[in-house]
Chain A
């Protein structure tokens, strides 16, 4: 997937290769032509700074409060969680010394009792020691009804939190819930000794000057412009090797790219380099530009509550009428990967054996003919008084999506299907219109996994249909009883291999039922200056800055 040859090598891997003999380095040259064994090593003390460009402004610095993706860049740098999700989708210990499992006894056989052992000798940025009390306080604050918390899924099942010792904590789960381990990789631990003194944690001074245990300390924020972090030289983990980490807010995607090109920005994080700049960017001297798979799937997302889409034949015909290869190659500058599932290709749970869609207009017409959808006098097919006509909506102002819409409009019309285009500003599109299934179809890049866990109950379970009184985000109003029971089973199962079998089957069923028509697995164009070492993308997190502690400048 990755076009840059040395991407999957961490600095440690490279050092290990060197230790083996260095010859391996010769077969893995990096883009700027230097062999990998010539890689610099990190400086003895934090040196230099990195300016990270973001196209949205981070504004929420209490990591437990409701926030959006872009804020993660700051949270991952200032705070630590109990665990961290690595680029391969494997959960690694962070503040915890090991990842609890049924095998090591950290999680009881019935999945209800959890025990987590913590690192000793970790300190908050103000010098106070980090203890299990902080973890307890964090888990309790999230479910405090007065606190404006982010996701509470999983956390609301936690009961009887006990601090066994400063380095050990236990709790009981109301019911077994395997995804909780993944959820904890995005649950950053906050300092009890500071927040408990605040009259209202929603408005605590801490929220604008956070204190964490992470590799970087808060320095200052210039609202609307940038924020600056400095190295925490007392960090208990790897690094940091850079003295300053700056998150610069650049509100326009073209300007973000221009500042990367001119050198004002060292690394482009969210929303990355746009596909239309990819070809030019990859030729820029002194820049490393790579294409990595993202976590979202771009699709034509159907509202199955609409009479047009109730019949499987219609969904199959529409899917057969999508020339996805042309869309990726001619409209999206080759950026995007054909997929048949919601599961990101880099996930351990990705099912590679699903039936492949073939673009075939004759087949599409045949399916509709056989199902009894007959063209009317206006050329649009209809059946039982229902015309095969629908609107497609997406965020207005996205020209690549608009071109894709026009392209599909054309091919759909060739099989007697009418698609109109009705785009809306983001604040309207993703509000009730989306959440309460008021659309016909949407063109959307959906992330289905929460914290990279394969549990997709929130997206596909019948109980998650908001328009039918549910509480999740099954906006397609998809319902399949076999999927429902598999989802329940998957959430109760801790063993990764057993879970893999369950989610493989779920992907088969959803590929068959087609509640959404996949366009492509989102692919992200990342760019940074050459000479910035230790950068590893991790699309199992929502930010490219998930581990800035490992970054350093080759001197």
Chain B
């Protein structure tokens, strides 16, 4: 276990280094830059723009800018946002809760419903339910999420008036109920895709488990179908889902780009889009590293979890 962790750690450091270099290069190759936002301001002269660039250190050679950034990061300094001057970690922290709330609830919905649909689809293969679930999953995967979002807002907010038109809460009302009320529509919309993905994987995994020898043995022993399903099939079918969950962890924590925009949700996805739009290099790089770390952690946790649950797997 210790050897496994050490080698994973070494791999991770190399990976983060590569990601940071590529990310930094792409950001800086992209034409435009942080001064573009002042391009239409008639009062910002080239004197002013050159001065600002120098003050932000953007007039230095790229490799020096990179080394400076990386050295600071190693010492725990993630830099400051060009836009509001706040430390990058604080900026990420301010948006993290919103994303965690939205993605956490939509993922919880997706796992519960997706698992159920997957198992039922597998045990009732080629039934009407199975066909409907398959078609539904295909539709959910093919139609862009923001479209569901807009339709949802139109129907439930504007027409019926049951749910808010977006936002995380009503300003001035921070009650739990108010949060929940605002959470319903975006979390359901976001979970649609996840339900689709989750149910398809679960269906396949369950079918796979059902055809195993130990299921036949269990049947031969005379166990009830229900007991076979709960004790032998589902447990085994869930194993690959742990890996899937690990892989989904980063996307859960880094937010949904478009859905957050449609629902005016102040999460990480919006932060990423805005930071990219204003070429806020420190925040974009911070988000990139944050995401990379989550990807690595997600996979690591999934590997360890599988090893703990599945006695056939040993970490070495």
Contacts and interface: CB of A to CB of B under 8 A. Distances in A.
Given A148-B56, A251-B261, A435-B49, A430 B83 contact: no
B167 interface: yes
Given A207-B85, A251-B261, A446 B42 contact: yes
A151 B40 contact: no
Contacts of A226: 171
A202 B85 contact: yes
A425 B274 CA distance: 13
Nearest to A295: B42
B165 A262 contact: yes
B47 A152 contact: yes
A394 B14 CA distance: 41
A259 interface: yes
A224 B85 contact: no
Interface in B2-59: 30-33, 35-49, 51-52, 55-56
Contacts of B153: 258
Contacts of A66: 38, 44, 48, 52
A88 interface: no
Interface in B72-112: 80-81, 83-86, 91, 94-95, 98
A148 B158 CA distance: 44
A262 B98 contact: no
B158 A224 contact: no
A459 interface: yes
Contact-size category for A? 35 or more
B282 interface: no
B86 A208 contact: yes
B148 to A, nearest CB: 15
Given A255-B264, A446-B40, A223 B171 contact: no
B85 A203 contact: yes
B266 interface: yes
Contacts of B44: 66, 150-151, 473
Nearest to A154: B43
A447 B40 contact: yes
A259 B274 CA distance: 20
Interface in A366-400: none
Interface string A453-491: 000101100001010001111000000000000000000
Nearest to A179: B43
Given A223-B94, A431-B39, A262 B157 contact: yes
A430 B80 contact: no
B46 A466 contact: yes
Interface string B209-221: 0000000000000
Contacts of B144: none
Contacts of B83: 59-60
7 contacts: A66-B52, A150-B43, A203-B80, A208-B84, A251-B261, A428-B32, A432-B32
Interface of B: 30-33, 35-49, 51-52, 55-56, 80-81, 83-86, 91, 94-95, 98, 153, 157-158, 164-168, 171-172, 261-262, 264, 266-267, 270-271, 273-274, 276-279
Given A473-B45, A473-B46, 7 more contacts: A59-B83, A145-B51, A202-B85, A224-B266, A427-B36, A430-B32, A430-B40
